[in-house]
């Protein structure tokens, strides 16, 4: 469905925003930002989401990548299309901590309330499409991590779905 799709949407500091159009009920803002999630990981003071400070960019994603693990349903749904677009862009960049952490967080177990289970079939298809690109394209450097995510949850006959 999405395999030949190349992101061509408006960019937000070089992150393609066109993936958002596939997500119904996309939240206007996260309840917890990646910056706040990273603060939780660091055991430091957590600050509220501030759109002027928490503006999405490659630098923001790479600086606050630890926060991906702390995103619950609403925040995860907010960041998911941007993380998918960023991973799609970084298919051949082995130095992206954000992509590595994102792929780890696409593996089971799902959180409560379920993040993976909250996706529509179109949204799930987009996740699978990006994972397929990261796993099977010639330029991909994320094959191992993407294949594990596909085998464990996202692919046909997945082990834990």
**Tens digits of residue pLDDT in 74-97:** 999 999 999 999 999 999 999 999
- 19 vs 62: which has the higher pLDDT: 62
Q: Indicate the pLDDT class of residue 18, thresholds 50, 70 and 90.
A: confident
Token output for 36: 């706040």
Is residue 147, in this structure, part of any structural domain at all? yes
Token output for 88: 């799609």
Average pLDDT over residues 22-30: 91
Is residue 125, in this structure, part of any structural domain at all? yes
Which residues is 11 bridged to in the sheet?
16
Peptide bond into 113 cis (omega under 30): yes
Token output for 112: 């409560």
Is residue 139, in this structure, part of any structural domain at all? yes
Contact between 150 and 158 (Cβ < 8 Å): yes
Is residue 27, in this structure, part of any structural domain at all? yes
- 16 vs 34: which has the higher pLDDT: 34
Domains identified in the chain, total number: 1
Which residues is 16 bridged to in the sheet?
11
Query: Which structural domain range is residue 52 located in?
Result: 14-154
Is residue 65, in this structure, part of any structural domain at all? yes
Is residue 128, in this structure, part of any structural domain at all? yes
Q: Indicate the pLDDT class of residue 161, thresholds 50, 70 and 90.
A: confident
Give the pLDDT confidence score for residue 14 in this predicted structure.
67
Tally of CB atoms within 10 A around 124? 14
Give the pLDDT confidence score for residue 24 in this predicted structure.
87
What DSSP designation does 155 have? Answer: S
């Amino acid at each position: 469905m999405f395999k030949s799709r190349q992101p061509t949407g408006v960019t937000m500091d070089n992150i393609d925003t066109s993936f958002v159009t596939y997500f119904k009920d996309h939240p206007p803002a996260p309840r917890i930002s990646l910056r706040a999630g990273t603060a939780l990981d660091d055991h430091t003071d957590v600050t509220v989401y501030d759109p002027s400070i928490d503006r999405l960019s490659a630098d923001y994603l790479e600086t606050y990548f630890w926060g991906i693990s702390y995103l619950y349903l609403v925040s995860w749904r907010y960041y998911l299309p941007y993380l998918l677009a960023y991973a799609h862009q970084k298919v051949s960049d082995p130095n992206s901590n954000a992509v590595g952490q994102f792929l780890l967080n696409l593996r089971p177990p799902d959180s409560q309330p379920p993040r993976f289970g909250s996706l529509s079939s179109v949204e799930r298809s987009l996740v699978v499409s990006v994972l397929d690109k990261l796993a099977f394209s010639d330029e991909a450097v994320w094959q191992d991590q993407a294949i594990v995510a596909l085998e464990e949850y996202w692919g046909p006959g997945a082990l834990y779905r």
